[in-house]
Amino acid sequence: MPKPSLTISGQWRRHLLPAFALALVSATGNAALAQSPPPNLKPQLVNDVFAARWPSSAPAHDVIAVRTTPQTARPAQPRLPAQATSPPRAEPKTELVKFATAPFPYDGLIPETERRFLDVVKDGQKGHRTARGAVLWQRDTFNDSRVLLHIPGGFNISRPAVMVVYFHGHGAELTRDVLDRQNVPAQISLSGKNAVLVAPQFAVDAADSSAGRFWQPGGFARFVSEAAKKLAALSGIPAKARQFANMPVIIVAYSGGYLPAAWSIRVGGLGNRLHGLVLLDGLYGEIEHFANWIKSSKKVFFVSAYTQSTRRQNQALADILREQKVSVSGEIGKHLWRGRVALLPAASEVTHQDFVTQAWTENPIADILTNLN
C-alpha cells in the first residue's frame, strides 16, 4: 500500500518548516551540540548552548525562548566561616603646616618687662636684640610659622592616644634637625604607641630661646587647639578633630626649648590635659616654676635627663622637691602615666649635641612613650 504523502503548500511552508526544524533540534540536537562545541567557542554547559547561538543582542522577534533540561544538583558543600579582616593599616603621614597660632611671627611684649620683642629697626627691617647683644632679624629668624606634624603608620584615632609637643633647642630647623638629625618623628613611630607629634618652629637656626606667642596667657592652649584640627585634616578625617582635641599632651623640650616649656606650664592654659613634661638636658633655668608645677599638678610625670651641662640645676631641683616632700627617683620605671618624678644622669660619654638620640638610652623619646603604660 503506498505511503500517504504530505504536501505543504507554499503559504504554510513558510510557517511550519521552521517550527518543525526547531522541534527536531529540541529532540535530538542538544546532546550533539553539547558534545561537539564549535572550535571557535569555549566549552559550555548545556544550558548555555542556545544563548551562544541566539545572543541577546538579536532583534526581539528573532529571540526564541528555550526550556532547558534541569541539571542534577550537586551535593551541598560545607560553608567555611568567613575570616575576620582587619582594616588596612594607615600609612605614616609627615608634613610641614603653617599655623596661625605658631610661636612666630610675634611682635608683642616680652613678659615681665616693658620691652617689645622686636626692639630694633634698621633699613625698614625689624629685629630682636638678645641678652648677649646680638641682633636677630625677624625676616630671617622669627618669621617661620610652620609646624612639623607626624602621624605614625597604624595610628587609630578610635583608641586612647597622646599628643607629643616637641620644643627644639638652639640652632635648629624643623627639616634639617628635628626630622633628619634628631629623628623625632621616627622615634614616635618606633615607640609603637598610639601617639602623634606636633613640633613648632621657634627661632630659626639661632641661639635664642624666645617663646613668642607662648608668652601670652592661653597661647599654648590655642596652639594645641589648632593642632587638633590640622592633625585631623592630615589624617584624612577632619570630622575627628574633637578626638584630637581631647588627647592628653606631653611636652618634650630639648636644651633651649626649656624656656617655652616653662611658659607653657605657667600661662599656657592647657590645664589637666598637660600630663607630662620631659626635659632633655634642658634645665638651664626656671627651676622654681618647674618645681611648682610638679607640686601643684596631680598625677603628672616629670623627667629631666642631663649631662654635665645641667647637672647643677638638676641637683637644685631635687633639693627643692625633697623639701616639699615630693618623691624623686633616679629611673623612669614602668608606669610613668600614674605620676612620677625622675632625674636621670647620662653616662659621661654622652654629649649634649646628640642628646635627643642618645641620652640615658638610645632613642629616649621612644623610651618615654614605651614606659607610659
Predicted local confidence at residue 297, as pLDDT: 87
Distances (CA, A) of 144 to 139, 141, 239: 9, 7, 28
Q: Residue 166 forms beta bridges with which residues?
A: 252
Predicted local confidence at residue 169, as pLDDT: 95
* Residue located via cell numbers 630682636: 128
Residue 27: which pLDDT band, with cuts at 50, 70 and 90? Answer: very low
The mean pLDDT value of the chain amounts to: 83
Residues of the chain above pLDDT 90, percent: 71
Q: Which CATH architecture has domain 93-104+143-370?
A: 3-Layer(aba) Sandwich (3.40)
Q: Compute the average pLDDT of residues 183-202.
A: 97
Q: Compute the average pLDDT of residues 245-257.
A: 97
Q: Compute the average pLDDT of residues 43-59.
A: 38
Residue 338: which pLDDT band, with cuts at 50, 70 and 90? Answer: confident
Per the model's pLDDT, the better-predicted residue between 210 and 90 turns out to be 210
Residue 217: which pLDDT band, with cuts at 50, 70 and 90? Answer: very high
Predicted local confidence at residue 187, as pLDDT: 98
Residue 89: which pLDDT band, with cuts at 50, 70 and 90? Answer: low
Q: How many CB atoms lie within 10 A of CB 189?
A: 20
Q: Which of 45-49, 317-321, 325-329 has the lowest mean pLDDT?
A: 45-49
Is residue 298 pLDDT above 90, yes or no?
no
Per the model's pLDDT, the better-predicted residue between 221 and 83 turns out to be 221
Residue 139: which pLDDT band, with cuts at 50, 70 and 90? Answer: very high
Is residue 177 pLDDT above 80, yes or no?
yes
Three-state secondary structure along the chain? CCCCCCCCCHHHHHHHHHHHHHHHHHHHHHHHHHHCCCCCCCCCCHHHHHHHHCCCCCCHHHCCCCCCCCCCCCCCCCCCCCCCCCCCCCCCEEEEEECCCCCCCCCCECCCCCCECCCEEECCEEEEECCCCCEEEHHHHCCCCEEEEEECCCCCCCCCCEEEEEECCCCECHHHHHHHHCCHHHHHHHHCCCEEEEEECCCECCCCCCCHHHHCCCHHHHHHHHHHHHHHHHHCCHHHHHHHHCCCEEEEEEHHHHHHHHHHHHHCCCHHHEEEEEEECCCCCCHHHHHHHHHHCCCCEEEEEECHHHHHHHHHHHHHHHHCCCCCECCCCCCHHHCEEEEEECCCCCCCCCCCCECCCECHHHHHHHCCC
Q: Compute the average pLDDT of residues 36-58.
A: 39
Q: Where are the domains of the chain?
A: 20-62, 93-104+143-370
Q: Compute the average pLDDT of residues 256-268.
A: 98
Residue 288: which pLDDT band, with cuts at 50, 70 and 90? Answer: very high
Q: Compute the average pLDDT of residues 199-213.
A: 98
Residue 372: all three cell numbers together: 607610659
Handedness of CA 247, 252, 258, 259 (dihedral sign): negative
